[in-house]
Amino acid sequence: MGFIMPAATLLDDNGLKWSTIETLAPLLCSSKANDVPAMPAPTIRNSAFTSKIFSLFAKIMATPMFKRISTYLLFLSLAVAGRAQILQNIENAFQPWPDWTQSQFYFIPTVSTIFSQIDGDGASGYNKFGTQFTLNTGLAIDEKQAIELSFGYSQRGSQQGIDPILQNFNAFNIQYDYLETGLLYQRKWKKWLFNAGLRGTYLIDANQKLGTAPRLKDDLRTFGLLTELGARARFHKNWAAQITYNYSSYSVSKTNLSIANPIFLNSEQYLNCIGFGVLYLINQR
């Protein structure tokens, strides 16, 4: 506490008399330290907390998991950034599809390479190569739609090599030769021509180039039906490229086999094919 000056009677220069007063000394003269509020001491608590955060981040960044994630995100960002440019380059590489007028006929011969397999024979992968030759003639409904009829020949089938690791020694290489006719719906979109439809097949022959498969042709249906999806793109005034996908609408093998065929795991077999082809555009602007 402050101290109290003794009571006194004071006179000023004008001779005026003051009353007796009690004067408090300034608090800075206090004899007790706790009577004067102390200023807070400087602290480095915030700096220490920040240092701990940076140290934690440094430890996280040094972990293998963080490095793997960072690398993945880096390549992902580069892929996303380059995707638009790649798509633009592809778009620029193709030309608009020829214009159609209503009731216009067109002709397109096609040569394709077919990568096929048979679902149900135990082999995997589109590792049986074949060829396809077709003549497509279409009738334009309007400038963006057309109905197309296709006639041709194709080689489809399946093959499997020996795999000692999987203890698979049932190697075979079979080829089915077909005459085909297809009915497809065509639709333009930007520079692309998409199609969908059905393709009928007539079995000419079934050849076994490797392995043992007795009565191969006898076990197959003479007539078959494939669903088809495809896309075409024009890269030259008279040339275009196409990709197609075919799958059997029903089994190509007979279901009432008297003797099991060693290359058939069950009684149902389905052609599964991807084709890449080149088309020559005739009488199209």
pLDDT by position in tens, the chain (length 285): 444 444 444 444 544 444 444 444 444 444 444 555 555 555 555 567 777 776 776 777 667 776 677 777 776 766 666 665 665 655 666 777 777 776 688 889 999 999 998 887 766 678 788 999 999 999 989 889 999 999 999 999 887 766 556 555 667 788 899 999 999 999 999 889 999 999 999 999 988 776 666 677 888 899 999 999 999 999 888 899 999 999 999 988 886 655 556 666 566 789 999 999 999 988 666
Q: What is the pLDDT of residues 202-239, one digit of tens each?
A: 999 988 776 666 677 888 899 999 999 999 999 888 89
**Residue 5 pLDDT:** 47
Q: How many contiguous H segments (helices) and E segments (strands) does the chain have?
A: 2, 8
Do the Cβ atoms of 273 and 115 come closer than 8 Å? yes
Identify the pLDDT of residue 187: 94
Q: How many domains does the chain have?
A: 2
One domain, residues 180 and 143: yes
At residue 25, the pLDDT reads 45
Q: What span, in angstroms and rounded, lies between the C-alpha atoms of 149 and 180?
A: 11
- Residue 186 domain flag: yes
Q: What pLDDT sits at residue 184?
A: 96
Q: Which long-range contacts (CB under 8 A, 24 or more apart) does 12-17 make?
A: none
Same domain for 253 and 113? yes
58: tokens are: 């440094």
pLDDT of residue 258: 53
Single residue among 32, 60, 93 that ends a domain in this structure = 93
Asked if 66 and 198 sit in the same domain, the reply is no
Q: Are 274 and 132 in contact (CB under 8 A)?
A: no
- Residue 9 within a domain: no
Which helix (DSSP H) or strand (DSSP E) does residue 75 occupy? Answer: helix 64-93
In a domain, 70, yes or no: yes
Count the helix, strand and coil residues of the chain and give each as a percent rounded to the nearest 5.
20, 45, 40
Indicate whether 58 and 138 sit together in one domain.
Answer: no
The pTM of this model reads 0.64
pLDDT of residue 283: 65
Q: Are 189 and 222 in contact (CB under 8 A)?
A: no
Domain match, 75 and 123 both:
no
- The range of the structural domain enclosing residue 78 comes to 49-93
Q: Residue 128 is part of a domain; what is its CATH number? A: 2.40.160.20
Same domain, 58 and 126: no
Q: What's the confidence (pLDDT) of residue 91?
A: 60
CA distance 73 to 20: 85
User: Is residue 135 domain-shared with residue 89, that is, in the same domain?
Assistant: no
Tell me: do 180 and 259 sit in the same domain.
yes
Q: Domain for residue 172, yes or no? A: yes
Q: Which of 93, 118, 152 is the last residue of a domain?
A: 93
Residues 144 and 82 in one domain: no
User: Of the candidates 257, 277, 279, which has an alpha carbon nearest to the alpha carbon of residue 269?
Assistant: 257
Interval 240-276: pLDDT, tens: 999 999 999 998 888 665 555 666 656 678 999 999 9
| 207 within a domain of the structure (yes/no) | yes
Distance from C-alpha of 59 to C-alpha of 67, rounded to nearest angstrom: 12
